[in-house]
Structure 1
Amino acid sequence: MTVILATKNLHKIREIRDILSCVKDLDLVTLLNFPSYQPPEELGKSFEERAAAKALGAAKAMNKWAIADSTALVIPALGEDSVLLCQKHPTSTDKELRRQLLILMKGMESEKRYAYFHCCISLASPEGVLRTATAKTEGIIVQEERGSSGFGFDPLFIKHEYDRTFAEMDEKTKNRISHRRKALDRIIPLLEGRKQAAKEASCLS
């Protein structure tokens, strides 16, 4: 069963492939396999709308099921600055964005350092969106970078009930407890059902 992962982000590709490795016989290809495809602009006000648009665009273009992700780090104490920061500019590196975040949060007391990753995963067929799932991982922003693993804001984020940043964790641990894992867990039953339906159709043909 081939499913399109509608991204070219190598970090997301690696993470999602690891999480979905539990789905047997899943051939997960990405937009890197379709260099001529131009994804739709990220329109929509919500995470759900943006994820659905990306998934449906890829599904229709390639005539296959597709998965898309819309994720951001939200810091309520920063208000609109949080939203603007998480809309990554093409010329900004992850390190530059982390530095910008630390500057914005300099001097903030611990209770204002609360943050959460908000993740939305959408699964679509060429006919329409099949399911959209959302999940959060809550925690705090530390005062300096810690760890060398992960990507994005991982070196600055500590999940509640843990004492290490995402970037200090090994990949297996992070992928077991992350927001992306929680959202994908709600998509996996449909992928398993699709695989079973394909097997049954093959037996009847």
Structure 2
Amino acid sequence: MTTKPDIPPGTTHGEFWDTFYGAEDRVWSGRPNAALVREVTGLTPGHALDLGCGEGADAIWLARQGWRVTAVDVSRVALDRGAGHAASEGVGDRIAWQPHDLSVSFPAGTFDLVSAHFLHSWLELPRERILRGAAGAVAPGGVLLITGHAGFPSWVTDPDPDFHFPTPEEVLAGLDLADGEWDVLVSEVHEERMTDPEGKPATRTDNTVKVRRR
């Protein structure tokens, strides 16, 4: 998350994110999220659900590892871009791209991995309800992986004091997991090193929650 942009009243999630992605030919680096690589490497590939897939870097990485992927985003601009990237990488046939406003609809089915990375928005978003839906989509023996920001990146000089970043404990509590049905594998805060928009060294604090359905 960066400094809050000006958002016209009545803007929908789809409109906001289509404008966001449409402003540049490519917004993100094209590399998968570090937490995804760290926590999924070694898992037996199956069917994965990537919530808020953006331009598809995580979905493409999963497909390369042998997963079948359902990649979901509210922005059709991002989905089309992701599909193009996947085709150029030779894994387009392993990824199904689905448009969903997760505050309204959710993909059908159950999955061996449900991944939600940085599911934040400047627009009102029922994040806890969406993540409970994500938990409900995990097949027996499957994994739910959630990574979120724990604070603004180091280059943000005027952060919004009213924006709340949930802690790992708050994420777990919000999932309302049934006793005896889940194992908590990871619940931690970690610092990620990166570069800021000007290419200078920067840091960002994130948190990761990883749980497995028994």
Structure 1 and Structure 2 fold alike (TM over 0.5): no
TM-score normalised according to structure 1 size: 0.33
Q: Which has the larger radius of gyration?
A: 1
The structure with more strand, counted as a fraction of residues? 2
